[in-house]
Amino acid sequence: MQQTAVPGAHAAHHDHVHIPPPSYWPIFSALAVGLLVFGFLLWLWDASMAVTLMVCGGLLTITGLMGWSQALIKENDELPDVIEDDRWMKMGLKLFLVSEAAIFGSFFAHHYYSRFDFPEWPPIGAPHLDTTLPAIATLILMSSSVTMEYAHHLLKKGEKAAARTWTGLTILLGIIFMGFQGHEYGFLKAYDDFTLQSGMFGSHFFAMTGFHGAHVATGLIMLLIVGFRLRLGHYTPERHFSFAAASWYWHFVDVIWIFLFFTIYLF
C-alpha cells in the first residue's frame, strides 16, 4: 500500500528518510558549469567566442549556486530538525572532499611521473620560479585557515558578531592570496612569455595552480554566502552545518596548496 505524505511528518519522525522537493537548480548549475568548462576548452584553442562563453558560464554558475543555496536555506527553515540532524550530510561532505582530493591526486601523479621521466626538470627554456612571493602568499592562505577556524569557534560560543568579523577577515586574506597569484601569472606572461602552452612545465604549472585557484574562488563564494547568512541571523551555536561545511572546504583548499607549493616551487 502506498503511503501518503503528511506535511510536517518528516519533522516529527526523525527515523523517516527525508526526500527533498523537486528542484531545477541542480540541472541549471550543471549546465552552467558545463558552459564554463566548454568556454575554457575553447580558450585553450584560441577560439573567438571563448572568453564570452567563460564569462557567461561563470555568471550563470554563480547564479545557480546562489539559487540552489536559497532553496536549501528555505528547506532548512521548514524542516530544521531533519536537515540538521541527519548525519548523511556530513558524510556526503566528507565524500565530496575525498573526490576532490582524488582529482588533485591525479594532477600530482601526472606531474611526478612526467618530472622523473624528463632528463632535466624544469625543462630547458622554462623560467625560474621565484619562491619569495609564493611563500608570502602561502603564509597568508595558512593564516586565513586560522582565522576561519577561530570564526567557527566564536560561532559555537554564540558570539555571532565576532564570528562575522573573523569570517570577513578570512575572505580578505583569500582575496589577497588570489591577488598574489594573479600578479605572478601576469609577471610570467609579460617577462618570460610563460603560458599554459609553454610545453610540459607550463601546462603543469598553470593547470595545477589554476585548478587550485578555481577552488579558492569557490571557497570565497561559500564564505560570502555564510557571512551573509551570519548577518541575517540564520545560524545558532547548535545549528550551522553550512558554516562548518564552508570551513572544512576552506581548510581542504589550504592543505592542498601546501602540497602544491612544495611540489611546484621547492621540490
Three-state secondary structure of the chain: CCCCCCCCHHHHCCCCCCCCCCCCHHHHHHHHHHHHHHHHHHHHCCCCCHHHHHHHHHHHHHHHHHHHHHHHHHHHHHCHHHHHHCCHHHHHHHHHHHHHHHHHHHHHHHHHHHHHHCCCCCCCCCCCCCCHHHHHHHHHHHHHHHHHHHHHHHHHCCCHHHHHHHHHHHHHHHHHHHHHHHHHHHHHHHHHCCCCCCHHHHHHHHHHHHHHHHHHHHHHHHHHHHHHHHHHCCCCCCCCHHHHHHHHHHHHHHHHHHHHHHHHHHC
User: pLDDT, tens digit, for every residue of 233-260?
Assistant: 888 888 888 899 999 999 999 999 999 9
Q: Which amino acid is at 10?
A: H
pLDDT at residue 85 in the model:
52
pLDDT at residue 155 in the model:
95
Please report which confidence band the pLDDT of residue 90 belongs to, taking 50, 70 and 90 as the band edges: confident
pLDDT for residue 10 is more than 50: no
- Please state the rounded mean pLDDT for residues 160-189: 95
pLDDT for residue 72 is more than 80: no
pLDDT for residue 17 is more than 60: no
Does residue 89 or residue 151 have the better pLDDT? 151
Q: Which amino acid is at 176?
A: I
pLDDT at residue 106 in the model:
93
Please report which confidence band the pLDDT of residue 14 belongs to, taking 50, 70 and 90 as the band edges: very low
pLDDT at residue 239 in the model:
81
pLDDT for residue 6 is more than 90: no
pLDDT for residue 171 is more than 90: yes
Supply the mean pLDDT for the chain. Answer: 85
Which residue segments constitute the domains of the chain, with CATH numbers given? 22-78 (1.10.287), 82-266 (1.20.120.80)
| Lowest-pLDDT range of 92-101, 119-128, 163-172, 185-194 | 119-128
In SS3 terms, 164-212 reads as: HHHHHHHHHHHHHHHHHHHHHHHHHHHHHCCCCCCHHHHHHHHHHHHHH
Specify the pTM: 0.79
User: pLDDT, tens digit, for every residue of 21-70?
Assistant: 788 888 999 999 899 889 888 877 778 888 899 999 989 988 988 888 77
User: pLDDT, tens digit, for every residue of 101-144?
Assistant: 999 999 999 899 888 888 888 888 888 898 999 999 999 999 99
Of 157, 259, 165, the closest CA to residue 212 belongs to: 259
Please report which confidence band the pLDDT of residue 71 belongs to, taking 50, 70 and 90 as the band edges: confident
pLDDT for residue 12 is more than 90: no
C-alpha to C-alpha distance for 87 and 73, rounded to whole angstroms: 18
C-alpha to C-alpha distance for 76 and 70, rounded to whole angstroms: 10
Does residue 189 or residue 1 have the better pLDDT? 189
